[in-house]
Amino acid sequence: MNNKELEQVEIEVLIDSIRRRYGFDFSNYSQASFKRRLQHYLKLKNINRISDLIPAMLHDPATFKTFLFNLSIPVTEMFRDPQAFQVVRQKVVPMLSTYPSIKIWHAGCASGEEVYALAIVLVEEGLYDRCQIYATDFNDQVLKMAEEGIYPTERIKEYTLNYQKAGGKRSLSDYYLSRYEAVIMNSALRKRIVFANHNLMGDASFGEMQLIVCRNVLIYFNQSLKEEVLQVFAESLAPRGYLWLGTKEDVGLPGLRNEFKTIDSRQKIFQKK
């Protein structure tokens, strides 16, 4: 057995150990992404071999928590892909405005920047008081960050530029308070958001959503898990509900092509038939 084959065995043992000890099944996670994050963690902790990590992972839940946080480090920003938010204003908001109440599931919300960006859009379009947003992630550490809504001041210039490009109607500063080297999102903006732990790799679906947002999450899953998650989304959407994915993702999978129609192919916004 060569070194590459031995490493693969170690990875499989690690994944099985995590599943049996903590209930998180990463067997359908993109192996390239998992391996890349694992190698980063080993380097960060100065651990030479995967097999040296396994005992610590099994016997020390704190080790698993730090590994889990490293595995799901969010790559996100407020109003990321501004053009996509413009499309939501133009093509999704008019339909949402016809509902007396609007339920939204933001799956894989990470540290919450994009949840608050969507909330700002809904405020400016006069819909927010009718909305209930369920923002979920499997990582409790990033969920805590999202619920607190505190972000470094150094990123606000970038977020403000994104907001302007996304068709913002006011000043982004209207939605946060500055404190020292950080900003905190207004409490009024947070009142319609429920943050909760939910694992797309196995937890049950939500029901009757008018909009599901899951951007740049499916790219970390293998084909089998992508199909499972997309099926969960299809089951969770109300008829004519919208699914908003990342620009590198799609619903063009066997069994799902006929369940959705494309609203915007570039920004990957779809509507359940």
Over residues 110-126, mean pLDDT: 97
> Which domains are assigned to the chain?
3-71 (no CATH), 82-272 (3.40.50.150)
Mean pLDDT value across residues 51-76 = 83
What local confidence, expressed as pLDDT, does residue 72 receive?
A: 67
pLDDT by residue (tens digit) across 139-185? 888 899 999 999 999 999 999 999 999 999 999 999 999 988 899 99
**Cβ–Cβ < 8 Å for 72, 34:** no
Q: Contact 141/65 with Cβ under 8 angstroms?
A: yes
Could you tell me the pTM of the whole model? 0.85
